[in-house]
Structure 1
């Protein structure tokens, strides 16, 4: 069995270790973290990450924060496989980038595109013909209706709903439980039912 190093030892590392093991193709060798807060995750040792001193042939990123996940991804030069849980439904016409994670009971419908290092979390649903950008996080129990476009780095918060044919900009945040009924601009944070802009950043997510 191939070994793999995981970058990031926070809460999401527990889910990713279990996901990787459940597929039986890789065995996590170590978790690398700049500020380790624990000695191991489900028996996988957590080591201090010091520059690029750790050699590995394959890598995965267990960082839920989209901006931080992008920073780490940009520093990795080895292949980052996709991991799709056996209980998830991902139709044959779906296009996956690299480093994509699809967790238990998620549904990714026909003709969807998932960008690099995007996470589709437990029980999330991405309906047909959606385009999900790089470094997005589609959180637990979300529902993205057909024909939507989600820009790079956007967080679709837990339990939120996005109505059909809408465009959500890059590095936006959809607050948990929100119902999005109109387009969301870049860098905006929206919340509520219907979702309204409560904050707009000027950062570019780099």
Structure 2
């Protein structure tokens, strides 16, 4: 098996390590972190980033979209993508470098998923959806056909995005929200139907 390093020692890295191991193509040899709080994760040793970093295949085990973007710009390493064996990914779909698709998710026909995205457990991404880089689709979220999702957006657990909606960059969609119309950049929305609660500072 090929050696792999994981960046990040928080809770998300546990799920990433288990996913990688289940595919039996890469062996997670260590975890690196700028400020590690633990010595190992699932028997994988954790080191301070500048002590152990190597230019080997790397996956970023961090759920926060902005952190993934920042880290991706600092590491000169290949970033494979990982898809759990129970996920359904249609042949016409594409998944960008560094992205991770977790168990029981569905990525439908003609879907484009960008780089460093997270498609979490039991999420559904319907046909002809375009997801930009650094997006996190949380557990049991559902994105209907023809939706466009901008960079850095978080689609909360159990939320539903209705067909042909356009979601801007760095949007936060609250858990359980039902999104019925377009959402501008940097908006935070909650509810059914989802309404803008506030705006957050632009992230680049």
Contact 1:19/1:85 (CA < 8 Å) preserved in 2?
yes
Q: How does 1:41-52 map to 2 (within 5 A)?
A: 41-50=41-50
Matched positions, count: 204
Contact 1:129/1:148 (CA < 8 Å) preserved in 2?
yes
TM-score by length of 1: 0.97
Q: Distance in 2 between matches of 1:9 and 1:55?
A: 16
Q: Distance in 2 between matches of 1:113 and 1:173?
A: 20
RMSD (CA atoms): 1.0
Structure 2 unmatched ranges of 5 or more: none
Q: How does 1:48-87 map to 2 (within 5 A)?
A: 48-50=48-50, 54-87=53-86
Instruction: Indicate whether 1:4 and 2:18 are aligned.
Output: no
What secondary structure does 2:14 align onto?
helix
Q: Distance in 2 between matches of 1:90 and 1:28?
A: 24
Instruction: Indicate whether 1:153 and 2:152 are aligned.
Output: yes
Structure 1 unmatched ranges of 5 or more: none
Could you tell me how far 1:49 is from its partner in structure 2? 1.2
Could you tell me how far 1:50 is from its partner in structure 2? 2.1
Q: Deviations over 1:119-168 (max 9, x none)?
A: 00000000000000100000000000000000000000001000000000
Contact 2:55/2:76 (CA < 8 Å) preserved in 1?
no
Q: Deviations over 1:91-115 (max 9, x none)?
A: 0000111011000000000000000
Q: Distance in 2 between matches of 1:145 and 1:56?
A: 38
Could you tell me how far 1:202 is from its partner in structure 2? 3.4
Contact 1:148/1:167 (CA < 8 Å) preserved in 2?
yes
Q: Distance in 2 between matches of 1:79 and 1:202?
A: 31
What secondary structure does 1:15 align onto?
helix
Instruction: Indicate whether 1:24 and 2:24 are aligned.
Output: yes
Contact 2:160/2:176 (CA < 8 Å) preserved in 1?
yes
Q: Distance in 2 between matches of 1:130 and 1:10?
A: 30
> Which portions of structure 1, spanning 4 or more consecutive aligned residues, are displaced by more than 6 angstroms?
none
Q: Distance in 2 between matches of 1:78 and 1:19?
A: 20
Q: Distance in 1 between matches of 2:136 and 2:92?
A: 21
Aligned residue in 1 for 2:14 = 14
Contact 2:105/2:124 (CA < 8 Å) preserved in 1?
yes
TM-score by length of 2: 0.98
